[in-house]
A and B are shown apart, each in its own frame.
With several copies, the nearest count.
Chain A
């Protein structure tokens, strides 16, 4: 679960990391009222998960209630522009009104998980305010890393070493080990996969302040912090995730593409391989769909409807590796699902294995579906049917 900036900053504050004075507002009216109650120099920032807010004009200055209102209005009027990862863009539901800092320096500090080292890793640079990928390209020597031994955890020398190795401005030095420690505490206590402060601002009056906040929490650890349920509910799911949730599959188990060959398989690895097989056979994929364990009639039906009603699929390729389930049972489930569905009918190509797989294929053929023996054969058949 990715947190919005204002949520991340709330966690920072709890951990003792200084953040700018701010108010979270859901409407231009609320922004106007807040600035009226607290005159000053403010920044109005779109609360979205997508990056590139500045370039998209979604961060604006405001020095009066009226300016605040129109800034918020302009920001919220249009969604974030689409990019490759979010082809639909992202609607803006709220803004953060934040004190304008007199920034002297911008640094970067993050903790993430290194899969190979199997350790949390600090990444610090004296260059902040831009993507760390950009820093890595332009100033690779400025990046300092520290792999934390989880048996020991954080100790202040880590912050000192990072500050010296990244050559942070002297103004950061005294405060940095405590900030790094607080960030590690947050990372650890809330089960985060990423915590990022970019920029970590040094103000002209010598304060070190987290000017932005990016926090990704581990969904599998959320049960330990039921307090986040509300945030989770408030978070913007993209359309695919909403559809998946409605169909009763995991929000990561469904994703749409522009093609016309619908796919479904059991297991993420097999589902990806199924997509690849369709693409290799010259087809255009309509979706990724991992049906998960147990392909009973109810589940097959909701998955079928998910694809048929929400993608451009003109054929549906079901690829089930039975493993320890019986092929005839799966086949009966598929047939039952297709009898029950009220959605439009498209041709089904089905590959299934497992005990009694031959009986299964017979059941499918009898019901007018196209059983195949292998994944490759199924992919080819599905592409053939789609291109008719």
Chain B
């Protein structure tokens, strides 16, 4: 098992003939993802170099292929439209890789697309190792196994996954939830899914300063996941307050969003917080050993 994505998930790519879309389509296909086609308006009827059919609309693609998942590579002004189109066509999971989507667009989208899970935007996608990869993550660092991972950043995710894989700790599903203020799927929603996943026996949560997703996750873990081992990491403990560092998410404002508040929340939930990424595998292994 895994969450959100498996070997049989039929995936299309919106923006499949664009430079990013075509590059990553090739990589996803190579990884083994069940890509069934793509969409570029006006290029319906063409084929990609991999022989995948291109459609004019998501609806046509869904009707022809039975796709349930989409990976969105379109410029920021068109991301909301792409998400609405996917929702209207009955897509159940959309990973929106696009960076720079206006926050009001996402407010509108998340408020009106019930029934479709959105990962991102401004995210690297998700991977169920050994089964399928949707997005832009480097497939070779992943290894199939029992660890569920969720993270707000991208390269840091690869770093942590790499450490886990090298330590022999494979992953069930790794979700890059995205760095924007308004995202389709938060840590809590990932936790809710991992809770019911038989393959997942421990969780790693890579948080960051800013927002209150980590605090919310800690509260959820305390209430609903007392039995599952969870290890957290908080990036940006040395960031100054009131200033954005890099992407929009990493800003501390008010009492919430500080590393202290997040670490305290995890402590209260009995979740160890790694000081460095390199400590994560050891902490996970210990917790798994205790449970075994």
Contact = CB atoms under 8 A, between A and B. Distances in A.
A193 interface: yes
A115 B107 contact: no
Interface stretch (B3-11, B157-165, B193-201, B283-291): B157-165
Contacts of B88: 149, 157
B57 A164 contact: yes
Contacts of B77: 223-224
Interface string A256-276: 010000000111111111011
Interface string B100-130: 1111111110111000000000000000000
Contact of B246 (A118, A152, A271, A353): A271
A231 interface: no
Given A164-B44, A220-B100, A272-B250, A267 B239 contact: no
Contacts of A218: 102-104
B110 A269 contact: no
A85 interface: yes
A280 interface: yes
B237 interface: yes
B112 A152 contact: yes
B268 to A, nearest CB: 18
B213 A268 contact: no
Interface in A294-326: 321-324
B47 interface: no
A157 B81 contact: yes
A221 B103 contact: yes
Given A152-B112, A157-B81, A173-B42, A273 B103 contact: no
Given A116-B212, A193-B103, A151 B155 contact: no
A269 B57 contact: no
Interface in A154-202: 155-157, 160-161, 164, 173, 188, 191, 193
B107 A273 contact: no
Contacts of A275: 236, 238-239
Contacts of B153: 267-270, 272
A62 B244 CA distance: 38
A66 B168 CA distance: 77
Contact of B107 (A85, A119, A321): A119
Interface stretch (A13-21, A247-255, A335-343): A247-255
Given A116-B212, A173-B42, A273-B156, 19 more contacts: A118-B106, A119-B107, A155-B80, A164-B44, A164-B56, A220-B100, A221-B105, A223-B76, A250-B246, A267-B246, A269-B154, A269-B250, A270-B159, A272-B153, A272-B236, A273-B233, A276-B238, A280-B275, A323-B138
28 contacts: A115-B211, A116-B186, A116-B212, A118-B111, A118-B182, A149-B112, A150-B112, A157-B58, A157-B84, A160-B41, A164-B44, A173-B42, A250-B246, A255-B240, A255-B243, A267-B246, A268-B247, A269-B208, A270-B159, A271-B246, A272-B153, A272-B250, A273-B159, A279-B237, A290-B246, A321-B155, A321-B162, A324-B27
Interface of A: 84-85, 113, 115-116, 118-120, 133, 149-152, 155-157, 160-161, 164, 173, 188, 191, 193, 218, 220-221, 223-224, 250, 252-253, 255, 257, 265-273, 275-277, 279-280, 285, 288, 290, 321-324, 353-355, 374-376
Interface of B: 27, 41-42, 44, 56-60, 76-78, 80-82, 84-85, 88, 100-108, 110-112, 136-138, 140-141, 151-159, 162, 179, 181-182, 186, 206, 208-209, 211-213, 216, 233, 235-248, 250, 254, 275-278
